[in-house]
Structure 1
C-alpha cells in the first residue's frame, strides 16, 4: 500500500523531548505529509514518547546517527525530503564541560554531515530549519538580545550550537540553500528528560528528596511551554523568511528559587512555613549564567504568540510527571533491552 504524500519532512532527534512533540504535531496535523524521524535513541530519548503515533501510516522511524554520512546520503537519495527540522543535539550544559568532544561531534559534525547530504540531494529541500538556543548570545543581566546581536557563547554546549549555526548560514551565503535558524528560551513540558531543571526538581520531590538549588546568586530562566515552541516552528516553516534567524521567546521569567518553591507546594501540598524544608543549597556548577533575555518581535510579526500561560503550562507538566512516575526509569530499562537486542543481533 503506497499512499501519495505531498510533502516529506525529516526530523532529526525526533525521539527527544522537543523532537517528539514536533513529530507528534506534524503526524497528527498533516496526514497528507510523510514524517520521518531519524534518532539514535541516546539516553535522553524514550521510544515511549512516540507511542501515540508509531502506527500511523504517515510516520516512519529510522534509528541512526546524524553523524553517519553513508546513512544520511542514503536517506536523501532514496526519499524525496522537502523539509528538514534539525533538532538532534547534545544539550546538557554541565555534561558539555565534562565531555566537550562528544558535543562537538554531534552538534557540529552532525550538522555538517546533514547539511552536506541535504544540499547534494537530487531532490532539493525547500526548507532546512535549524533549532538553536538563546544560550548562543551568552548571559545578560539587563541587555535584551535580538537576532542582530553578536553571539558570545560561554560554555562548550552553546559554543557548539553557535558553530553549527555558522555552518548552516554558510550554506545560505554560498548556495542560497533555504535555511532558517531558531533560537529559543528554555522549553519545558511533559516528557522532558530529568536532567533539566523542572523535571529534575519534580523527580527529586517524587522520590522524597529535596530540590537542590545551585549557588547563592539569584538565577532565573525564561520558560516557554513546549506546545508554544512547536507552534512557532510550524509557523516558521510556512511563513519564515529563508536566510533569517528568529528568536522564540517568552516574557515569562521565573527565578529558580521561586520555581522550586512553587513545585514543592504543588507536589507536596505543604504550607508556606514548610516549603524551605524541601530546598537544599549546593555549591555552584562552573560558570552558570544568570539569565538569557531575548526579544521575539520578529517572530510575533508573523502572527505568533505564546498561548499557554505559566500557570497552565506548569500545571500540565506537573500532572504529567505525577501520572507517569516511572517513565524515565523504565525508559532507561527499555534502552538497556534495545541495546542488548542490538548486541545480540551484531554478535550473530
Structure 2
C-alpha cells in the first residue's frame, strides 16, 4: 500500500507517545506511522494493543542513541515528519543518574537531528516535545515563549540543552523544526512514578498518599487528549523555527489533588480524608509552580477542551478498570513499590 506521509514517533510506547501513535494511526489510515522505542521501564507494549495489527503501523524496538539504527531508518524510509518524544523525564531520577539523562535527552536528540538532516528524503517537520520546566519555577511571573530558559534540575537542563541543539539546526540549515513546551500531561496509561497515577496506585493498595514537604506546591495539568490535539495542530499549522507553549489554566495544588483522589477512590467523608494523607521529607530542591501562557498556540485555533473534572474522572476510572496494567512492568514489584513512595 502506498502511503501519503510517513511519520516517525520516537518514544511512541510511552504514555504521551502511545496516545499520539494511536491517534495518528486511527485518524490517518493513509499515513504510515513508525514507532521507535526501546521499551524502557515506563513503557508498556499493552499501550499499543489497539493498533499493533494495523496496516499503517510499524514498531521498531531500538535506542534513539543508536546512530547506526537511526541512520538506517532514515536511509530506508522516506520519513516526512518526526515527533521526537523519546526522553527520560523523572526529576528525582535525574538527580540520581544525570549521565543517563544526558545520554538519552541530549545525545539521542543529536543523533536523530543528524540523521534527519542528512537523509536523502528531507523531512517536512521535526517536532521536538519539550517541557515547561525549562523555564524554571515562578511564583508570579507567567512565562511565554520568549521568557529566559532557567532549568533547575538535571532533567530540565537536558531538555533545555536538547532544545538548543534543535534550534541550531534551524539557525544554521533552516531545517524545519518546531519546539513545544507543555504543562504536566495526565491521563490513562501514565506510569506510576508520576504524581496522579502514583496517588491512585497507592490508594488502590490501601496505602496513604505520600506528600513531600509542607510547601504549597501546585502543577498545571493538561489532559492527554488536549495535548495530542495540540501536537497535530502544530504539525499542520505551526510555523517552522517557532516554539509553542501547550498550557492550561487548570492549576491544582498537590494537597488538593491528593484530597480529591482520596474522595473519588475511597469515597470517605471529608472528615476522614486526612487519614489517607501522609507527609514525608521533601527532596532537596523542588519547584513550586510553572505558570505559562499559550496564547501563541491558541492563535492557531487550539483550546484545551477537557475540563479538570472530566479529565480526572476518566483517568480515575481507567486506573480502577486496569489495576494490574503496570504490575508486569519490566521492573519487579519491590522496585515499583519503592518508586511509589517517591514524588513526581
Tell me the TM-score range normalised by the shorter chain. over 0.9
Give secondary structure in 1 for the equivalent of 2:236.
Answer: helix
The whole-number CA distance in structure 1 between the counterparts of 2:45 and 2:87 is 17
Out of 318, 321, 325, the position equivalent to 1:320 is: 318
Checking the alignment, whether the CA contact within 8 Å between 2:41 and 2:331 is kept in structure 1 is no
Q: Could you tell me how far 1:331 is from its partner in structure 2?
A: 3.0
Out of 7, 10, 13, the position equivalent to 2:11 is: 13
What do the CA deviations read for 1:148-188 (whole angstroms, capped 9, x no partner)?
Answer: 00100010000000000000000000000000000000000
Equivalent residue for 2:336? Answer: none
Q: Could you tell me how far 1:333 is from its partner in structure 2?
A: 7.2
Note the aligned Cα RMSD (angstroms): 1.0
The whole-number CA distance in structure 2 between the counterparts of 1:267 and 1:286 is 31
Equivalent residue for 2:40? Answer: 42
Equivalent residue for 2:125? Answer: 127
Count of matched residue pairs: 333
Give secondary structure in 2 for the equivalent of 1:183.
Answer: strand
Unmatched 5+ residue regions in structure 1?
Answer: 335-348
Out of 253, 256, 268, the position equivalent to 1:255 is: 253
Q: Could you tell me how far 1:71 is from its partner in structure 2?
A: 0.3
Checking the alignment, whether the CA contact within 8 Å between 1:48 and 1:331 is kept in structure 2 is no
Equivalent residue for 2:50? Answer: 52
The whole-number CA distance in structure 2 between the counterparts of 1:140 and 1:314 is 25
Out of 58, 69, 72, the position equivalent to 1:71 is: 69
The whole-number CA distance in structure 1 between the counterparts of 2:108 and 2:152 is 21
The whole-number CA distance in structure 2 between the counterparts of 1:332 and 1:101 is 21
The whole-number CA distance in structure 2 between the counterparts of 1:82 and 1:131 is 17
TM-score, scaled relative to structure 2: 0.96
Q: Could you tell me how far 1:27 is from its partner in structure 2?
A: 0.2
Checking the alignment, whether the CA contact within 8 Å between 2:13 and 2:37 is kept in structure 1 is yes
Q: Could you tell me how far 1:330 is from its partner in structure 2?
A: 2.0
Equivalent residue for 1:345? Answer: none
Q: Write out aligned runs for 1:69-218 (5 A).
A: 69-218=67-216
Q: Could you tell me how far 1:332 is from its partner in structure 2?
A: 3.1
Unmatched 5+ residue regions in structure 2?
Answer: 333-344
Give secondary structure in 2 for the equivalent of 1:327.
Answer: coil
Checking the alignment, whether the CA contact within 8 Å between 1:212 and 1:280 is kept in structure 2 is yes
The whole-number CA distance in structure 2 between the counterparts of 1:157 and 1:182 is 16
Give secondary structure in 2 for the equivalent of 1:130.
Answer: strand
Checking the alignment, whether the CA contact within 8 Å between 1:12 and 1:87 is kept in structure 2 is yes
Out of 220, 232, 243, the position equivalent to 1:222 is: 220
Checking the alignment, whether the CA contact within 8 Å between 1:239 and 1:302 is kept in structure 2 is yes
The whole-number CA distance in structure 1 between the counterparts of 2:245 and 2:298 is 10
Q: Does 1:234 align with 2:232?
A: yes
Checking the alignment, whether the CA contact within 8 Å between 1:82 and 1:124 is kept in structure 2 is yes
Equivalent residue for 2:28? Answer: 30
What do the CA deviations read for 1:174-223 (whole angstroms, capped 9, x no partner)?
Answer: 00000000000000000000000000000000000000000010100000
**Moved beyond 6 Å, runs of 4+:** none
Equivalent residue for 2:341? Answer: none
What do the CA deviations read for 1:300-325 (whole angstroms, capped 9, x no partner)?
Answer: 00000000000000000000000000
Checking the alignment, whether the CA contact within 8 Å between 1:213 and 1:279 is kept in structure 2 is yes
Checking the alignment, whether the CA contact within 8 Å between 2:4 and 2:31 is kept in structure 1 is yes
TM-score, scaled relative to structure 1: 0.95
The whole-number CA distance in structure 2 between the counterparts of 1:309 and 1:262 is 15
Give secondary structure in 1 for the equivalent of 2:93.
Answer: helix
The whole-number CA distance in structure 2 between the counterparts of 1:333 and 1:144 is 38
